[in-house]
Amino acid sequence: MIECRNVSFSYKKKNRQIYDISLKLEEGYFTCLIGHNGAGKTTLMKLLYGSLLPDSGTVEKDGSVLSIDSLCEHRSGLFFVTKEAVWHPDRPLMSYSKTLAKLYPKYSEEEFLENLRKLDFISGKDAGTKNLDKTFSELSYGERMKVITAFGLATHPEYMILDEPFANLDPLVKSELARMIHTRVAKDGMGVLISTHLLDEVSDMADYVAVMEKGRLVKYGDREEIMSNTDLRTVLRESRETE
């Protein structure tokens, strides 16, 4: 389990902050983090991954507190899909994926290619398409997310954190990606945290829902309880109106 306990964080030169947040990411469960752009979702995910360290409170993985010294151990079995991820900008995707794969002992190149096929990035028969000869810098935003997510799933992580993975994907690809992630949760017990600002993505995906606004968790709990007892659109609108 990955858990943040009473975590607060501030960027020294920015106003965006995280206030006293407690949240769990458990194996075999799917948590959806929703909120407007700028609510602090990406910052919270970076704290869970260890890209940032909290000003107060703790981030723990299986009871071990995250610190500079424990960063490698914390990230073991954890994969972060983020729009800020940068592969080598000038190396062909397939070539660089082989280098990156050395960091992940459970990685399967066969699954990586199959994932890319399912996400309509390469053709069904040919793994040597021109898309795999492209460099990361040549890809669109949506294509980059396809490649990073396909690679991440192929590493067989215990936990996967995905920051707006459905953005700029067409409906069919988005449905296929959701199915792929659900399958991994069900079969392998992977723990998943996905951020989104689209409420429609919550209804049939999550076990748990966390609603974030202005750096705070305003709702957090079982999806059915949250969805049946809360008008999330009203919560988000009221949060935005009080800014």
Contacts of residue 107, Cβ cutoff 8 Å, sequence gap at least 6: 101, 154, 155, 156
Q: Band of the pLDDT at 242, cuts 50, 70, 90?
A: very low
User: Whole-angstrom Cα distance, residue 4 to residue 89?
Assistant: 33
pLDDT on residue 11: 87
- Report the Cα 119 to chain-centroid distance in Å: 17
pLDDT on residue 166: 86
Helix, strand or coil, per DSSP, at residue 90: coil
Rounded alpha-carbon distances, angstroms, from residue 200 to 3, 204, 221 = 26, 8, 17
Most confident of 9-13, 103-107, 130-134: 103-107
Q: Closest by alpha carbon to 144, among 182, 78, 205, 88?
A: 88
Most confident of 94-103, 128-137, 162-171, 197-206: 94-103
pLDDT on residue 14: 65
In the structure encoding, which two tokens stand for residue 119, read together? 């996400």
pLDDT 10s digits, 141-181: 889 999 999 999 999 999 999 999 888 888 899 889 989 99
pLDDT 10s digits, 75-99: 999 999 998 877 888 899 999 999 9
pLDDT on residue 147: 94
User: Whole-angstrom Cα distance, residue 166 to residue 139?
Assistant: 16
User: Whole-angstrom Cα distance, residue 150 to residue 191?
Assistant: 16
Q: Band of the pLDDT at 120, cuts 50, 70, 90?
A: very high
